[in-house]
Amino acid sequence: MTIKEAILSFVPDGNIIEKVCVDRGLTSSDDYTVELKEDVDIATAYSMINYANKPDYSQGKLSVTIPRAQLLAEADRILKSYGIEVDAPGVSNNSNLW
């Protein structure tokens, strides 16, 4: 099984996976090995976060709703298991810098 195939079991978007792998220094076509588990887990979490930011879509009778809350919760769990804290995006007041 390749790294991409391992992540595809959680995130069904090959383009996002390719981008995240490049960003994380992984080659998606490399074999998944236990030595790469942490790197692949982290890449999976970031792929989940990216996928959760895609819009829902529908065409005709086909409708796809992305389970954002579940994806983000699982990504957060994975990252925390490796000691990585991800701050939720929010609004901050930087008017004092103007």
Query: How far, in whole angstroms, is CA 33 from its chain's centroid?
Result: 19
Residue type, 75: A
What is the average per-residue pLDDT within 56-66? Answer: 92
Task: Retrieve residue 78's tokens.
Answer: 């994975």
Lowest mean pLDDT among 8-12, 30-34, 80-84, 90-94: 90-94
Per-residue pLDDT at 13 exceeds 90: yes
Bridge partner list, 68? none
Rg value, the chain, Cα: 16
Higher pLDDT, 3 or 93: 3
Bridge partner list, 57? 64
pTM of the entire predicted model? 0.84
Q: Residue 46: which of 12, 21, 82, 81 has the closest Cα?
A: 21
